[in-house]
Amino acid sequence: MFQVAGEMVRRRSALRHAQVIGPRGPLFPDSQMTAMVAISPLYLPEGFAVVHVDDSVPVVLTWLVPITSGEADVISSAGWKALEQVFVAQDPDLSDPGRPEVALREPGS
């Protein structure tokens, strides 16, 4: 993670929406989470996503959500919207790093 942050500072750029960092192995003890995805802060009011500082410079806040390798693969192959639809349908607690991976395939498919 620190390498990614250092690279962003060097390039003077930020994370893109739905950019995946990893997978790089377990992020937390006893967790399936191996990657993170950068998205808008979902559990907070919409106005929280952008903060204006001196001279009205906008600062876009990003939430790094822990995800599994399988969930990262969905983003890579089908895009963020595909995984977002699964998250909406299954309503996992995205703030819980110990949550199980969402069901990525329908039974029998």
53-77 pLDDT, tens digit per residue, is: 777 777 777 889 999 999 999 999 9
Q: C-alpha angle 35/85/75, rounded to 5°?
A: 35
At residue 108, the pLDDT reads 43
Alpha-carbon distance 13 to 60, whole Å? 12
Per residue in 42-57, is it b (16+ CB within 10 Å) or e — as a string?
eeeeeeebeeeeeeee
At residue 53, the pLDDT reads 78
| Choice between 93 and 108, residue whose per-residue pLDDT is larger | 93
DSSP string, 54-86: GGGEEEE--EEEEEEHHHHHHHHHH-HHHHHHH
* Mean of all residue pLDDT scores within the chain: 83
Q: Which residues pair with 45 in a beta bridge?
A: none
pLDDT digits (tens, 9 = 90+) for 39-49: 887 666 666 66
